[in-house]
Amino acid sequence: MATTAALVFAGKSVATPAISFIMNKAFSYLSKWHQAEGMEAIKDRLQRRLTEIQAVYAAVDQEQVDVLRGSALDDWLWQFRDALEGAEDVLDEIDYHKLEEEAEARNLQGQVRNPVANFIKGKVIDKVTKHNSEGNMVKKLRKAMEDLDGVTEGVCTFLHLVNHSNSHALRDHAESNDQETSSALVPTQIFGRDKEKEQIMSWLTDNLDEDQNIDGIRRVPVFSIIGIGGIGKTTLAQVVCRELEGSSHFHKIVWAHVSGDTFSAAKITKKILACSFRCEAALLQNSRCKAAKRTCCLEAVLNARPNADTLQALQNILRDILEPKKYLLILDDVWEDRKRGEWEKLMAPLWDIQRGSRILLTTRMRSAADLVTSVMRSKKHYLHLNGLAKDDNFMLFQNVAFEGMKAEDYGRLLPKAEKIVDKFQGCPLVTQIAGAHLKENIGDQHWENLFKQLEQLEGSLDVIVTTVLRSSYRHLPEDFQLCFRYCSIFPKGYMFKKEELVKMWMGSGLIPQSKSEVERPEDIGERYLMKLARKSFFSIVATGDPYSKHYTEYYVIHDLLHDLARNVSADECLRLESGGHMHGRPTIRHLWITNLSKLTFREIKAILLFKKLRTLVIENHGDIGIVHVTTLETVVENLKGLRLLSLKRVPMFCLTKEVANKHLRYVSFSGMQKVHGVSKLYHLQLLTADKRIDIAPEQLKELGNLSCLRHASYGVHGFGEFLVSGLISLQELHNFRIQAKEGYQISSLRNLSSLSKLEICNLENVRSHEEVIDAKLNEKAHLQSLSLQWSETNETPKNEDNLVIEKLEPPMCLEKLEIAGFTGARFPSWINHLSLGNMVSLELKSCRNWVYLPGLENLHFLKHLELQNLTELRMINQSSDAYLPRNLKTLVVEACKNLRELPFLPPSLAQLEITKVGLSILPRIHDHHGNNMSSEGTTPPKLVSVIISDCSNLTSLEGSFLQQEHHVQTLRILKIVDCKKIIRAPLLFGEMNDLTEFRIGSCYSLRMLETFDGALLPSTLKELSIVECGDFQLPLLESLLGLTNLTSLNIHKCSRVKNLPSSGVFKGLKALQEFYVTECIFLSSLGGIGALSDLTWLEIRV
């Protein structure tokens, strides 16, 4: 059913549908049970009052919220919401008992039909029927409707507001000019900060007097960016970090968002450690060490969480991590300017570490910058960030407000736009928010109204910022407002993952039920988030390479917008920071507690003051006793309307039997090993855990009865393997292992028609292709991602295998497909059908009997193609002019030792990795559109990264894409390693104007180039590795002159190198930090190595 929380108290447009929905459903139940006598008058009164209620909502302007707080009208609005939610809870409980009845009936199915079984079944049904028709439910429902009738009677008191409503402009929620968006969001362009960026970059990378020891201890210099909120401090720091990440000037860049209600050294140290571990994991992920070693190290780092309880322990960990490193620490949004003692504790591990380390601080307060600078005994390096220049700010506004529009469509608005932007005094946040808001309301009158509103304000930028942000918030649709307010329970600077936030919105009841059967709640939530991002209420922060699997987008709310969310949700949402006291009105619906161990038993019990609570998120960061846990269990049991429960590191917690008939939709456990009581939560939509959860066998069996379940941690890393055939709402199913026993055959997927992601394992256990047909994969209209896996131990193909894979044909909507371990010889014919034109990712792995693959040209939207361990593969497409899909961006070919040739590569390709492949020649890039062949140079180059590794048959790079001048211009990473037969490698370094990393290694047979002028490598190079590369060793070494951006140089096993370059060459390597010379057995002179003045690491090992 549609949740009232998504309808009530959001605004006038939803109050009437909410009460109508509940009223009609309630009277339908009462009539069904013949209990509607005497209720007709209540129904008639409620029907008549709908118009009056709507009129009152329409008359209440959002600007009046603060004024209304605590007034009689405010009290009535909350009473109305309470009554409506109370009625919803009763209806929800009735639905629960229906779901319970269905689950009990399913449990009886399959049992031996005998009088005893029939008697038990009859007793169960009689019990439920009696409970629903004659028991407490009827009384509860009648009372709920009577309460609603009593509350709505008070609406007449406030009808006088309607007489004043004409003096206020009614909010316009039309979403005109809404244009389709995609997940590939482009970062906001930066305007007018080049000078400031260069100033910070220069300070960060130059040698400073402060780098020297003071009193025998080396302090870390501090640079402070100071400015008002929204002026662009954080954005400027992010731009600087983005540039430095590619330069290797610092070993580690650590970002800590300091803003918060409480400031403590331990809290901020944990943030710094968490970021450090993420950095370490990223470095290991991209490191050059062997895969097994890298995986081992990566797991060790990821498992090393900063869970120490004492500040001393945390500081010891931090000191161990940072002491050998040259680091940059960014402390963002610092407010604390009084607790010098806490600052000294925080900074203690940062003293006396690697020379050249830096601290970059952003703050609104000069006093905070003074305090930190004083604690670190640093000179005062300040940048007071002012507003953007008028022209730059206007360019920013146009970039946001007129994006995607033609000049003739907005030309008339430019004069008004200039007037409006002048009022923003160069504040980029206000400019961006206003631009996004006005883009959605392109009418002249709307722009004129905003200008007049700004005209009435008196000069203070703070007032303008607040006014613009509130105005933009008021013009959001009511359901968007509700979702935005909800985000106030998260900490400032929180990085939301899209799926995480959308699922929490759903669990807490903020996403209304779609009128369309096609659109899922997840789709609605994602649409809300995308539109809020378009309106600049969220900014998008991306991590990882855009062309890799590790690319992730996060959504972040600016601190000023977080303040706005907290302000407008003060009576609805509460975040209790560690050590804080329980406070807030009884109207609180959503509560987040950051550290349960800091609360007393009395404070835990005080949660019950919030009787209407819908969301409860509890974190714990210390030891917790059994009394704390049992008290919390009692609290949860008595929160009658709870929809979302998330517990992090609260061991021994048990959902009691009494909580089973509650309304929980979302249950999440993190850092816990054992739980009970989840199998009776029949409304449950999401059940997740971060690791294996121990659960009683009888409860595990009953999890299969949760027919509303949409997302669950299934299998060995979650709640175990439970029966899925009855989970008709399930959206994702991972690691579903086909087994011979009943309930685990592939046919169990038959009724799971809502699946969007599906991973099927152990397909060798499918007994016949008829079972596959019964699974109805091609009828699952929402399926976007499908993984088909046969066990690696399955080496003997069966005659049935080819029929099985043919019947595993997915639906037309499929976007991602993986086939792994298939032992049959035949490639499934359906992959290259035009019906799969939506596919964007295709991974084929360990299908060891495939000899031939079709060209896949018909997969027009394919962006990622991975061919791995196809040991018998000899050919892709038999045509001599074969092409790969025209929009392909990433191609990975690995362990295909018999593959001799690849088709033409498309110009769209950005990342290419060829490892352990039997190619004798590398392919060329060629544009192809039907029968038309366009000449080289008409399509912009896209190639960014190329890795060629362990190709034992490759003898030359001649004639390949690496000799196409046009397509190597954008190349940033080039690695050619373990290609032992390569003789000729005529690389076009002169055209590689963006190359930053070059590695050539274990290519023993390389011969000297015919022409060599001593300037082989491009000056953009930052990392260079020369390992066992024949005659190529000396030309590469001689071309070091002029590599002013080089930060890392590795010379390994170069037997032809006898002397290192002269001091003149080394003096030019101004950026070099790391230099490795190892196992060069004939090296006799270190040349002018003493001229390297800024090295942080030198290793010489013969």
pLDDT digits (tens, 9 = 90+) for 1045-1093: 999 999 999 999 999 999 999 999 988 989 999 999 999 999 999 999 8
Residue 564's nearest CA partner among 466, 464, 636, 486 is 466
In the block, which residue shows the tokens 């060599």? 1012
pLDDT band at 929 (very low <50, low <70, confident <90, very high): low
Rounded distance between C-alpha atoms, residue 912 and residue 898, angstroms: 19
The reported pLDDT for the residue numbered 429 is 86
Q: Are 772 and 798 in contact (CB under 8 A)?
A: no
Whether 386 has a pLDDT exceeding 50, the answer reads: yes
pLDDT band at 1009 (very low <50, low <70, confident <90, very high): low
Rounded distance between C-alpha atoms, residue 822 and residue 791, angstroms: 8
Lookup: tokens for 967: 């397509």
Rounded distance between C-alpha atoms, residue 836 and residue 862, angstroms: 10
Rounded distance between C-alpha atoms, residue 780 and residue 730, angstroms: 12
* CATH number of 564-705, picked from 3.80.10.10, 3.40.50.720, 3.40.50.300, 3.30.230.10: 3.80.10.10
Question: DSSP state, 836?
Answer: G
β-pair partners for 617: 592, 646
pLDDT tens profile 270-316: 888 887 776 665 554 444 444 444 334 434 433 444 455 688 888 88
The reported pLDDT for the residue numbered 402 is 86
The reported pLDDT for the residue numbered 503 is 96
Task: Report, as an integer, the average pLDDT of 418-424.
Answer: 84
Rounded distance between C-alpha atoms, residue 198 and residue 383, angstroms: 12
Rounded distance between C-alpha atoms, residue 156 and residue 51, angstroms: 11
Question: What homologous superfamily is domain 194-384 in, according to CATH?
Answer: P-loop containing nucleotide triphosphate hydrolases (3.40.50.300)
In DSSP notation, 28-56 reads: HHHHHTT--TT-HHHHHHHHHHHHHHHHH
pLDDT tens profile 82-128: 888 888 888 888 888 888 888 888 777 645 444 444 444 454 445 54
Residue 962's nearest CA partner among 974, 978, 949 is 974
Task: Report, as an integer, the average pLDDT of 167-173.
Answer: 37
Domains of the chain: which residue ranges?
4-167, 194-384, 390-563, 564-705, 734-850, 996-1102
Rounded distance between C-alpha atoms, residue 1100 and residue 1102, angstroms: 7
Task: Report, as an integer, the average pLDDT of 931-944.
Answer: 62
The reported pLDDT for the residue numbered 10 is 42
pLDDT tens profile 10-60: 444 445 556 677 777 777 777 766 556 667 777 778 777 777 777 776 666
Rounded distance between C-alpha atoms, residue 467 and residue 464, angstroms: 5
Lookup: tokens for 216: 């025998």
Rounded distance between C-alpha atoms, residue 450 and residue 987, angstroms: 59
Whether 358 has a pLDDT exceeding 60, the answer reads: yes
Identify the weakest region by mean pLDDT among 153-157, 479-483, 712-716, 722-726. Answer: 153-157
Whether 710 has a pLDDT exceeding 90, the answer reads: yes
Between residues 993 and 167, which one has the greater pLDDT? 993
Rounded distance between C-alpha atoms, residue 605 and residue 499, angstroms: 32
User: Checking DSSP bridges between strand 711-712 and strand 875-876, what pairing results, if any?
Assistant: unpaired
Task: Report, as an integer, the average pLDDT of 135-147.
Answer: 81
The reported pLDDT for the residue numbered 952 is 93
Rounded distance between C-alpha atoms, residue 882 and residue 876, angstroms: 8
Name 726's Cβ contacts closer than 8 Å, sequence gap at least 6: 106, 704, 705, 707, 751
The reported pLDDT for the residue numbered 1086 is 94
